[in-house]
Amino acid sequence: MKINTIKDLLDAEVICCEEELEASVYSACGSDMMSDVLAYVKDQAVLLTGLVNSQVIRTAEMMDMKCVVFVRSKNPTAEMISLAQESGIVLLATKKRLYESCGILYSNGLVGNRVKNV
């Protein structure tokens, strides 16, 4: 799914890296726990979160994510925006809640990663 489509589906505002809106993502993760993101996310995912600190951008960078969506009208700090710009990570903000945002993306074909049974 194109990041531009995610922006439209979530009625989101582009905060930075608008030039990357045509990039594709193949899965999504919704979490406020960056340890879960590190453990479970793969394949160019988009991260949906309500957490607003620089670790969100650092985590997205480590996991080769192309987009972070801040939910519940959360807005990143200037430091976070600068980090995202350096890495080419699109930042979006939506008024929608995390649960609703994930549901919208899932119902429109953006899947999550499969967790292997142990």
Beta bridge partners of 67: 46, 90
pLDDT of 38 reads 87
In the chain the domains, ranked by start, together with CATH numbers, are: 3-107 (3.40.1390.20)
Categorize the per-residue pLDDT at 115 as very low, low, confident or very high, splitting at 50, 70 and 90.
low
User: Is residue 45 within a helix (H) or strand (E), and if so which, with residue range?
Assistant: none
Q: Which of 46, 61, 36, 57 is nearest to 94 (CA)?
A: 46
Burial class of residue 78 in the structure, from the number of CB atoms within 10 Å of its CB (0-12 exposed, 13-18 middle, 19+ buried) = exposed
Residue 78 pLDDT exceeds 60: yes
Tokens linked to 21: 């809106």
User: Is residue 38 within a helix (H) or strand (E), and if so which, with residue range?
Assistant: helix 34-40
DSSP output for 58-113: HHHHHTT--EEEE-TT----HHHHHHHHHHT-EEEE-SS-HHHHHHHHHHTT-BPP
pLDDT of 44 reads 64
Q: What's this model's pTM, rounded to 2 decimal places?
A: 0.91
pLDDT over 90, % of the chain = 78
**Taking residues 86-105, what's their average pLDDT?**
97
